[in-house]
Amino acid sequence: MFRAIRIYRFQRSLTLLIKISLLTTISLLASACNSLTPVAHSEPPAPTAPSVALVLGGGGAKGFAHVGVIKALEENGITPTLVVGTSVGSIIGSVYASGYTAARLEHLALTTADSELTDFTLSNQGIIAGIKLRDFINTQVMQQPIEDLPIAFAAVAAEKHTLKKAVFTTGDTGLAVQASSSVPKVFIAPRIPAKIGKKYIDGGVVSLVPVDSARDLGADIVIAVDVTAPNTKNKSADSFNTALTAITSLSSFWSLLENSFIANANASPNGLANNRSTKMRLERDRADIVIIPEVGHLSSLDSSQRRALIAAGEQAANKQMIAIKQLIADKTQSLYPE
């Protein structure tokens, strides 16, 4: 009888253990299933404002006017979602896209010496190596690659041998800017990828104000800045600037960069040069807003006039501010009606 009782108790204990084991297994399976089941991520919030691209064109030291445009936009609460730059536009645009405020950008523009950007060399490919420019940009953007910059950024260059436009939206920021700013026969064309890739030259050869690139990257609104407009003020400044060119062209980083569009205009027979110039102007005019600072009377080769160039950019942008705000409001309403 005692043996039967022991067997009975054993069976009950075994049953209880089995139940506990089953419950534990079920619990573990449930937990595993929960962990394996894809989490239902909520959709990213729909945009509530249109994508605004700020396109900064080439133009040597006249590009300091870009800083003034950025100042005016910031003062009016307008931050672009994309910055696209050619040549000097890529220099200023990359630093701005890295998170610089307008005030910090202006300070950098006013205090950076030509010697920080210019590394002369003896080569049949050019007289500026471009390494200083690359390293300067990477230092300013804290070594961030293009794809990690707080504001989306693109640098426009041209493949040296085919003159095919290249738009860099990823990779080494300084290297892309170096390529975008490598004036033919002045700067040694860098390779991208470094050392093994194709050679690239100044984007001003193919797209001086890269509006189409901004459109291709999805911009709803394109605000373009052209600092190469001809002088609209007194002509006496032209002769002064011509003389100044001869004095400064061998020592100033910006005077060498200025060759970007001067040299390109004379690089081919008149018919081809004029045709290329016309295409570039038409591209610029495809922007929604075109800001043209009055910088023709200022020396694009004289870095001492940086404050005047910045002021001219700010003034030109403020003249367009009502139109810019209205365009953003209209586009917002059409894309995201309440």
Residue 100: C-alpha distances to residues 139, 238, 248 (Å)? 13, 34, 30
For the four alpha carbons of 213, 217, 222 and 227, in that order, the dihedral sign comes to negative
d(CA 91, CA 188): 17
Q: Which of 51, 87, 213, 300 is catalytic?
A: 87
Residue 121 is given by DSSP the state -
Contact assessment for residue 201 and residue 183, using Cβ atoms and an 8 Å cutoff: yes
Tell me if residue 207 is catalytic.
Answer: no
With b for 16 or more beta-carbon neighbours within 10 A and e for fewer, the 178-192 pattern comes to: bbbbbbbebbbbbeb
Q: What is the DSSP letter of 188?
A: P
Q: Where are the alpha helices (DSSP H) in 192-304?
A: 211-216, 236-248, 253-265, 270-285
**Half-sphere exposure of residue 218, counting CA atoms within 13 Å on the CB side?**
7
DSSP 27-84: HHHHHHHHHHSPP-PPPPPPPSS--EEEEE---GGGGGHHHHHHHHHHHTT---SEEE
Active site residue 172: no
Which has the closest alpha carbon to 63: 233, 282, 301?
A: 301
Catalytic-labelled residue, pool 119, 202, 226, 288:
202
Active site residues: 87, 202
